[in-house]
Amino acid sequence: MTTGQARAWERNWSRLGKTVAELPPGALDVDDWFGRDAPLVLEIGPGMGETTAELAAAAPAVNYLAVEVYQPGLAQLMMRAEERGLENLRLLRGDAVVLLERHIEPGSLAEVRIFYPDPWPKARHHKRRLVQPGFVALVADRLTAGGVLRMATDWEHYAEQMLAVCAAEPRLHNLHDGWAPRPEWRRVTKFEQRARQAGRISRDLAFERVP
C-alpha cells in the first residue's frame, strides 16, 4: 500500500472494515454495524473504489457493503469514503462466496453488483470465473423478492456466459430483452476506458429475483 492508503487503513479499518475469515459464525449483524435498518446493497470486487464511493454517496438511504480481496483497493476506497464523509459504506476483505454462504441471510439483499469481474480469458481458466451456476443460485437465494443482480463485463464470451447462466436460474428474471442498457449512474472508469481503447465493448445485465 502507499503511505496514504496505509494511513487511511489505520484510521478507518476498525470502524469501516471487517475480514471475512475472522467473522463470527452466523449472519453478519448488518443493522448493528451500520447503526440502522436500511436496504442492503452488496458490491463484489470494487477494485480501487472509484465507482463505489460515488454510488454509495448517491444513495445515502441504502446500506452499502463492498467485498474485495485486494487490500490496497479497500484502503483506497476508505480514502475516498473519508474524503466524502460517507456513513453508509462498509468494507469486507475476503472471499465473496464465503461471505454469501456463511454470513448473509437468505432474502436480505436488495441488490448485488458485480462490475468487471476477473474474466480469466484463457479457456483452461474459465472454471475460475465467479459467475457460474452455483454462484448465481447462491446470489438468487440471498436476494429479496424484487432484488436485482447487476453485472457488467467487457469480455464478450464472459458476457454471454453470464447471460446464459442467469437465464437458466429459475428464481431470476431478465429485466431486459438480452443486454441491459448501460446505467447512467455507473461512471466510466479508467479500467473501462482502457477496454474501449482496446476495442472491447462493455455489456450490462440486470436480473430480478422473482417471488
Active site members: 118
CA-CA distances (angstroms) from residue 32 to 9, 36, 140?
Answer: 21, 7, 24
Residue 180's DSSP bridge partners are: 204
* In the block, residue with C-alpha cell 446470489: 139
Integer Cα distance of 45 and 64 in angstroms: 13
- Report whether 19 contacts 92 (CB < 8 A): yes
Nearest one of 184, 116, 177, 100 to 151, comparing CA atoms: 116
Q: How far is CA 147 from the centre of its chain?
A: 14
Integer Cα distance of 126 and 175 in angstroms: 26
Instruction: Tell me 180's DSSP state.
Output: B
The number of residues in the chain equals 211
Q: Given phi > 0 = left and psi -120 to 50 = alpha, else beta, which region is 16? A: alpha
Integer Cα distance of 37 and 47 in angstroms: 27
